[in-house]
Amino acid sequence: MRPSVRPWAKASLCCVLIAFLADFVTAFLAEVFFAAFLAGVPFVAFTLQNISGMYGRAMNLPVNSENTSLPPLDPARHALREHVMAHAVKRGDFTLKSGRKSSWFLDTKQTACRPDGIVLVTNVALSFFPAEATAIGGLTMGADPVAYGIAAVAATRAINLRSFSVRKESKDHGVTGRIAGALQPGDKVIITEDTVTRGTSLFEAVDAVRAFGAEVVLITVIVDRGGTCAAMAAEAGIRYEPMLVAPDLGFEFGS
């Protein structure tokens, strides 16, 4: 005759089984939630990035150009726009050089003074530079990083452009005059600038280069935010080719 199992023994066995199952379920759920958390990290980062993009503009943070409403551009200009939007464009309350108020600020030197940025600038510039050009420069200091950078990068591509600066005032000692750099009389010159609003700096440089005995064959800028320079260049009989214009960045001319 088999011995009977006492009721208290059955109850103890049930408690052991329940405790075991509880530990197993707890461990399983912990692993599932941990895996879900890890999978959710990119989503959280993405969400925080979007929040930063929405509210960071009020704190003068860079503006990302992931905006399908922007006009389409060729690949070289598109890449340049991405860099400008990431590093050079800020939103906020600003007073421009002219004294006018604006809701956006453009510091294109943030692109021109970065190695990846000046390569992108050069990629666009060389797509329309005339083959006859022998020198590039403009009024210091807005033109300096653009002219020197393009000339340096172009040299690595077997394109030789001498660079120079136009001083804001004539130098009365040493090598006198307003031209500093490798400009030579008779050069075919590209006048450049990082950003143009009214065009006065560009045409001050044009006058100085012509007085030096060189010929201006092209005017170019990284960004034209004013929209008035094209008419001025046409009146002066000079070809004008901006790399980007304000509407390419989602802003109106003169805003």
84 and 25 within one domain: no
In which domain, by residue range, is 37 found? 1-59
55 and 79 within one domain: no
Provide the CATH number for the domain around residue 170. Answer: 3.40.50.2020
Q: Are 150 and 161 in contact (CB under 8 A)?
A: yes
Q: Are 138 and 192 in contact (CB under 8 A)?
A: yes
Interhelix angle 200-212/229-236, rounded to 10 degrees, is 20
Q: Which of 88, 77, 91, 140 is nearest to 110 (CA)?
A: 88
Sheet of strand 215-224: strand arrangement: 177-181, 162-171, 135-139, 188-196, 215-224, 244-245
Burial group, residue 101, by CB count within 10 angstroms (0-12, 13-18, 19+):
exposed
Please count the structural domains in the chain.
Answer: 2
89 and 44 within one domain: no
Assess if residue 103 is contained within a domain. yes
Q: Which residue has the tokens 């000046």?
A: 118
229 pLDDT tier (thresholds 50, 70, 90): very high
Tokens of 183: 């400009």
51 and 94 within one domain: no
150 and 50 within one domain: no
pLDDT on residue 57: 35
| Cα gap 154→108, rounded to integer Å | 20
205 and 83 within one domain: yes
pLDDT surpassing 80 at residue 53: no
20 and 91 within one domain: no
Q: Which residue has the tokens 């009020």?
A: 58
144 and 42 within one domain: no
pLDDT on residue 100: 73
Residues listed for the chain: 255
- pLDDT tens profile 156-191: 999 999 999 999 998 777 777 999 999 999 999 999
User: Around Cβ 174, how many Cβ atoms within 10 Å?
Assistant: 6
Q: Are 203 and 174 in contact (CB under 8 A)?
A: no
- pLDDT tens profile 191-201: 999 999 989 99
Q: Are 90 and 62 in contact (CB under 8 A)?
A: yes
54 pLDDT tier (thresholds 50, 70, 90): very low
Number of H helices, E strands in the chain: 7, 8
Q: Are 218 and 137 in contact (CB under 8 A)?
A: no
pLDDT on residue 65: 52
Longest dimension (CA), the chain: 125
The alpha-carbon radius of gyration of the chain (Å, integer) is: 31
